[in-house]
């Protein structure tokens, strides 16, 4: 049955593409094999339209991208509102739409709690960071970490953290995108991966940050619009009355009234805390999110962008919860969406897709599929740009050329790096086709939270941080996260096939972050060298700049 295959593959895609939700929902999202499909015309037409529009934007952006500043940070001229949308776009993947609605579909109120925890955590983190990031940074977060520390080792560390995150995340997205296109277009997996890789390279090499940001903004609007429309269509069946909807949902759901109260989602406290840490602090260490704060005009706009992003994401979460709840009634009782034993075809994460079909027919399903794909394209572009700037700005210009590279050379290297990353992503995407890659996004968050975040936050807030402390501590965090994931049930048991995992928890953040913070602290304390003293002395300078914006990068005049 063609429809169900599209759905099961889409679910596979989004399952891998998305962060949080897969962590929370224990497995079982991918059911059914992924196969080449005859076409869903509506989805293809809408997707092609998206590609044409974004290529147009890339053309426009390419003509405005002249300096390195234009390339890395869109000339620093993005407004708080636009940046808020773009950041929200980075958070709201199609998988949030599908994953959270699936969670609400399966567990009711638990899914809602999940979104609350996520949303309340991150503005706090961002406020600790947004303003100082904007005031201290130029193109990459390594600029901030190396502000008063020794350039070469610190930039190498920051770039390896950034690249590790970017590559892991890219693989997950590429494999997901490949499977999705394969299904929607009836293309071979390999061609599909090539298509995504090439589109990504085109956006980034020609359009730089300007194109990347606008692609993300358009996608955020599509996703907000599509989600809202779906929620409205669904609610119209209940007379726009939440109470009616809830009553019906409780009637038909197997958990009955328990649906409306907290359940067992956070039953294991260690896993829950670890997951929470990875989500909150990992996000604050993701290079493609951090770089968005360099694109705004000043600290004022950086703050505003957090405000808008929080609003959009919060609104989107509520919409998604309504979608999930409506799906319980509309989809959960409709036999065309259920397997013989009463389970949802394609798994719970498909609840929103089924709902799209139920309330809007094939056309609307096609639209939502196209949006899902657009999301992946927007995210891989951001990732590629973040990776390319780590290579060109940090490794090439600052470490290899010791700050003596010209702007032209630096841009050229970052374009070559984008092509290199695109190629790598294509090759790895093809190699990993048959692999279970669900752990990769989790690992990316673990590394971001255990290597990038501790070094970044301590460099801004702790005078005593030294080069040695940051360097060794950062690598300890990175490798602890890596080792713990390998030893955890996700790889040790599921992939390597051992009987029992050496490390019993799925999420390493609680342990690897502690290891990172502790070793950075301990090594910095032991370090009594003259260099360490000089670095501490430069803290005042940095503090003034981070707080006041004195000497911060301005917007390019256009």
Pick 310 or 450: Cβ nearer another protein: 310
- Minimum Å gap between C-beta 410 and another protein is 30
- Radius of gyration for the chain, computed over Cα atoms and rounded to the nearest angstrom: 23
Distance (Å, rounded) from C-alpha 297 to C-alpha 84?
13
In the range 261-320, which residues lie near another protein by CB under 8 A?
A: 261-263, 266, 269, 299-300, 303-304, 306-307, 310-311, 314, 317-318
User: Binding string to another protein for residues 74 to 103, with x set by CB under 8 A, is what?
Assistant: ------------------------------
Give per-residue burial for 94-121: e unless 16+ CB within 10 Å, then b. bbbbbbbbbbbbbbbbbbbbbbebbbeb
Residue 38 interacts with another protein (CB under 8 A): yes or no: no
Distance (Å, rounded) from C-alpha 42 to C-alpha 344?
24
- Minimum Å gap between C-beta 25 and another protein is 17
Instruction: Point out which residues pair with 354 in neighbouring strands.
Output: none
In the range 535-554, which residues lie near another protein by CB under 8 A?
A: 547-550
Distance (Å, rounded) from C-alpha 19 to C-alpha 429?
18
Distance (Å, rounded) from C-alpha 197 to C-alpha 421?
9
Residue 243 interacts with another protein (CB under 8 A): yes or no: yes
Residue 526 interacts with another protein (CB under 8 A): yes or no: no
Neighbours of 247 (CB within 10 A): 12
Distance (Å, rounded) from C-alpha 89 to C-alpha 80?
14
Pick 84 or 442: Cβ nearer another protein: 84
Do the Cβ atoms of 129 and 460 come closer than 8 Å? Answer: yes
Cα torsion 469, 470, 475, 478 to 10°: value is 130
- Minimum Å gap between C-beta 304 and another protein is 6
- Minimum Å gap between C-beta 110 and another protein is 9
Pick 32 or 123: Cβ nearer another protein: 123
Give per-residue burial for 123-161: e unless 16+ CB within 10 Å, then b. bebbeebbbbbbbbbbbbbbbbbbbbbbbbbbbbbbbbb
In the range 106-145, which residues lie near another protein by CB under 8 A?
A: 109, 112-113, 115-116, 119-120, 123, 127, 131
Residue 44 interacts with another protein (CB under 8 A): yes or no: no
Distance of CA 122 to the CA centre of its chain: 13
Residue 436 interacts with another protein (CB under 8 A): yes or no: no
Q: Among 456, 449, 481, which residue's Cα sits nearest to residue 470?
A: 456
Number of residues that bind another protein (CB under 8 A): 38
Name the segment binding another protein (CB under 8 A); options: 10-18, 171-179, 195-203, 256-264. Answer: 256-264
Binding stretches for another protein (CB under 8 A): 109, 112-113, 115-116, 119-120, 123, 127, 131, 242-243, 246-247, 250, 257-258, 260-263, 266, 269, 299-300, 303-304, 306-307, 310-311, 314, 317-318, 547-550
């Amino acid at each position: 049955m063609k429809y169900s295959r599209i759905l099961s593959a889409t679910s596979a895609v989004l399952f891998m593409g998305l962060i949080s939700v897969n962590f929370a929902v224990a497995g079982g999202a991918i059911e059914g094999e992924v196969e080449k499909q005859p076409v869903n015309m509506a989805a293809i037409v809408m997707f092609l339209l998206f590609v044409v529009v974004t290529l147009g934007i890339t053309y426009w952006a390419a003509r405005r991208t002249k300096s390195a500043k234009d390339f890395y940070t869109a000339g620093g001229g993005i407004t708080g509102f636009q940046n808020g949308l773009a950041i929200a776009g980075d958070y709201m993947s199609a998988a949030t739409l599908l994953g959270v609605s699936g969670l609400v579909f399966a567990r009711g109120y638990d899914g809602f709690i999940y979104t609350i925890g996520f949303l309340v955590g991150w503005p706090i983190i961002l406020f600790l960071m947004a303003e100082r990031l904007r005031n201290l940074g130029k193109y990459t977060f390594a600029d901030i970490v190396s502000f008063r520390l020794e350039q070469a080792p610190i930039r190498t560390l920051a770039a390896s953290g950034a690249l590790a995150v970017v590559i892991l995340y890219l693989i997950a997205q590429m494999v997901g995108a490949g499977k999705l296109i394969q299904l929607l277009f009836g293309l071979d997996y390999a061609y599909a991966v090539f298509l995504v890789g090439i589109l990504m390279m085109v956006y980034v090499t020609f359009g730089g940050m300007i194109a990347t940001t606008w692609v993300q903004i358009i996608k955020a609007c599509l996703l907000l619009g599509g989600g809202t429309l779906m929620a409205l269509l669904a609610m119209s069946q209940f007379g726009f009355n939440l109470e009616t909807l809830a009553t019906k949902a409780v009637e038909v759901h197997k958990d009955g009234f328990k649906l409306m109260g907290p359940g067992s989602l956070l039953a294991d406290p260690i896993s829950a805390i670890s997951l929470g840490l990875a989500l909150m602090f990992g996000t604050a260490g993701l290079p493609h999110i951090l770089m968005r704060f360099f694109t705004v005009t000043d600290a004022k706009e950086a703050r505003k962008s957090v405000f808008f992003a929080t609003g959009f994401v919060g609104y989107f979460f509520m919409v998604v919860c309504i979608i999930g709840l409506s799906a319980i009634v509309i989809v959960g009782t409709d036999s065309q969406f259920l397997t013989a034993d009463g389970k949802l075809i394609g798994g719970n994460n498909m609840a929103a897709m089924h709902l799209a079909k139920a309330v809007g027919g094939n056309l609307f399903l096609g639209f939502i599929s196209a949006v899902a794909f657009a999301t992946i394209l927007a995210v891989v572009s951001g990732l590629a740009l973040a990776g390319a700037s780590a290579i060109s700005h940090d490794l090439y210009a600052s470490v290899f050329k010791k700050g003596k590279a010209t702007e032209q050379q630096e841009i050229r290297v970052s374009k070559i790096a984008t092509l290199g990353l695109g190629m790598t992503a294509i090759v790895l995407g093809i190699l990993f086709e048959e692999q279970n890659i669900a752990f990769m996004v989790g690992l990316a968050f673990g590394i971001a939270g255990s290597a990038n975040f501790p070094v970044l936050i301590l460099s801004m807030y702790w005078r005593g941080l030294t080069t040695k402390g940051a360097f060794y501590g950062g690598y300890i965090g990175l490798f602890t996260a890596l080792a713990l994931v390998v030893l955890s049930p996700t790889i040790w048991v599921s992939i390597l096939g051992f009987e029992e995992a050496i490390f019993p928890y799925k999420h390493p953040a609680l342990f690897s972050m502690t290891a990172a913070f502790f070793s950075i602290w301990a090594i910095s304390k032991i370090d009594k060298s003259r260099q360490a003293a000089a670095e501490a002395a430069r803290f005042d300078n940095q503090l003034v700049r981070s707080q006041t914006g004195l000497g911060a990068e301005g917007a390019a005049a256009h």
